[in-house]
Amino acid sequence: MRSVGYALRGLLLLLRTEASIKVQFFIALLATAAGFYLEISATEWMMQLLAIGLVLGIEGLNTAIEKLADFVHPDHHAKIGFIKDVSAGAVMFVSLMAFIVGLLIYLPKLI
């Protein structure tokens, strides 16, 4: 039970303090509303929820990596910069794939 409390605290910290998570969470809410409005199928819900979960989860890991890197080495350092760039790149990759999933789900319904 204590672990669940720590996890919920971390989720709330992310939502309160990280601008990118706020934007991605808002997009997730829009996609969820669109899913209800356009009555997407159960399979489409699974794909959409998996995509949302991956984006938000990887963004959370990216935030943790950046905070840890800043704590370990607060000054600019090329290796820390590389680590942070790769972590941000992972978020971008997952976000692009989620966007494509969204297109595959919603374009046929809107055209």
pLDDT in tens, 84-101: 999 999 999 999 999 999
The count of structural domains within the chain is: 1
Closest CA to 105 of 31, 55, 30: 31
Q: Cβ-count burial of 79 within 10 angstroms (0-12 exposed, 13-18 middle, 19+ buried)?
A: exposed
The pLDDT tens digits of the residues spanning 16-68 come to 999 999 999 999 999 999 999 999 999 999 999 999 999 999 999 999 999 99
Cα–Cα distance, 109 to 20 (Å, whole number): 28
Secondary structure class of 41 (helix, strand, coil): coil
Range of the domain at 18: 2-110
Residue with tokens 């356009």: 38
Write the CATH number for 72.
1.10.287.3610
The pLDDT tens digits of the residues spanning 54-94 come to 999 999 999 999 999 999 999 999 999 999 999 999 999 99
pLDDT at residue 1 greater than cutoff 90: no
